Amino acid sequence: MRPLGFYRAILCLLPVLHFLLHVGFGMGRGAPDLLAVGLLLLAREVRTGTAAGIGFFLGLMEDAFSLLAFGANALACTLLGVLGSRSRELFVGESLLFLVSYLLLGTWLRAALHWVVAGDDVRRDATRALLIEGPVDAGYAALVGVLILLVTGVWRRDLSV
Partner 1 sequence: MPSFEPDQFESRGRREWVLSLFFIALSGLLIALPSPAQEQVAGVFRGTVLAPFILVQESLSQARVRAGEMAELQQQLDAATAALSAQRTLLDENQRLRDLLELRERAGPGFQSASVIRAGTRGSESMILLDVGRDGGVQVRDPVVSAEGLVGVIREVGSSTSVAMDWTHPDFRVSAMTLDGAAFGFVEPRHGAFREEDRLLLNGVPYYTTLEEGSAVVTSGRGVYPRGILVGAVESLAETEAGWRRGYWLVPAVRPAAVTHVLVMTTEASPSGDPRPGDEGVEAFWGLWADPPPDTLAPLVETDIPGGAEVIREPGDPDLPPDPDTVPDSAEPGP
Which residues in this chain contact partner 1 in the complex, by CB under 8 A? 19-20, 22-29, 31, 33, 47-53, 55-56, 59-75, 78-79, 81-82, 111, 114, 117-118, 121-122, 124-125, 128
Residue 58 Cβ, how far from partner 1 at the closest point, in Å? 10
Q: How far is it, in rounded angstroms, from Cα 149 to Cα 7?
A: 8
User: Residue 86 to residues 15, 120, 136, 149, 150: CA-CA distances in angstroms?
Assistant: 21, 30, 25, 22, 25
Residue 74 Cβ, how far from partner 1 at the closest point, in Å? 4
**Nearest to partner 1 of 81, 106 (CB atom):** 81
Residue 123 Cβ, how far from partner 1 at the closest point, in Å? 10
* In contact, 72 and 122? CB cutoff 8 Å: yes
**Nearest to partner 1 of 65, 91 (CB atom):** 65
Residue 128 Cβ, how far from partner 1 at the closest point, in Å? 7
Residue 96 has, within 13 A of its CA and on its CB side, a CA count of 14
**Nearest to partner 1 of 79, 104 (CB atom):** 79
Write the single-letter amino acid at 5. Answer: G
Spacing of C-alpha 136 from chain mean position: 14
Residue 26 Cβ, how far from partner 1 at the closest point, in Å? 5
**Nearest to partner 1 of 62, 145 (CB atom):** 62
Instruction: Please count the other Cβ atoms lying within 10 Å of the Cβ belonging to residue 103.
Output: 24
**Nearest to partner 1 of 47, 157 (CB atom):** 47
67 CB-near residues (< 8 Å, 6+ apart): none
